[in-house]
Amino acid sequence: MKIRAAVLEEFAHPLVVQEVELDEPGPGEVLVRLAACGVCHTDMYTASGADPSGYAPTVLGHEGAGVVEAVGPGVTSVEPDDHVVTLFSPQCRECVHCLSDKTNLCLAIREEQNKGRLPDGTTRLHRGGERMRHFMGTSTFAEATVMPEVALAKVRSEAPLDVVCSLACGATTGIGAALYVAKVEAGST
């Protein structure tokens, strides 16, 4: 399907809004029609060229929320019309890290995701014959994206998507910093 996306073509240059192709979801994957997306410093850091692990071309963005449009074979946790928030740090729920309290270090997902690919080692984004990499497994600076089922959190349909998209990174990062790094306790000021 054709979608419009903000593409990082070249580091330290403005993103280019253009039409790209998005393939249908494969096994264990979900097509999400994005309704809202936050802009994180990580997106801009990568676009600047300062991030040594950055790559181009890619569709940036990882703080998204939207509505499930289609599911691939084997998907059971979401279905079309479900409202979801994207997760840039998904969990396979099987590796040593996912079975501990270090789920953010998931081995099964992180290796391919850091290379701009989905867990099966491929990508669903392209322009003609040129494959494009996914950013942080999400690529939410687009009208739609395909993501692994484990990288989505279902939310109530009445939850405002323009608000809950902040749960994808900003809010959870802030809460994590307050609770686990600063160790803020109840009653603190």
Give the range of the structural domain holding residue 28, as residue numbers without chain letter: 2-181
Name the more confident of 73 and 51.
Answer: 73
Pairing state of beta strands 58-59 and 130-134? parallel
Residue 158 domain-assigned (yes or no): yes
CATH of the domain at 104: 3.90.180.10
Instruction: Quote the CA–CA distance of 27 and 88 in Å, as a whole number.
Output: 19
In a domain, 88, yes or no: yes
pLDDT of residue 16: 97
Q: Tell me if 187 is assigned to some domain.
A: no
76-95 residue pLDDT tens:
999 999 999 998 887 778 88
User: What is each CA distance from 110 to 23, 44, 81, 119, 154, in whole angstroms?
Assistant: 22, 21, 28, 8, 21
51 pLDDT more than 70: yes
The tokens 């809202």 sit on which residue?
36
Establish if 7 belongs to a structural domain: yes
Say how many domains are in the chain.
1
Q: How far apart are CA 188 and CA 165, in angstroms?
A: 28
Tell me the torsion sign for CA atoms 153, 154, 158, 162. positive
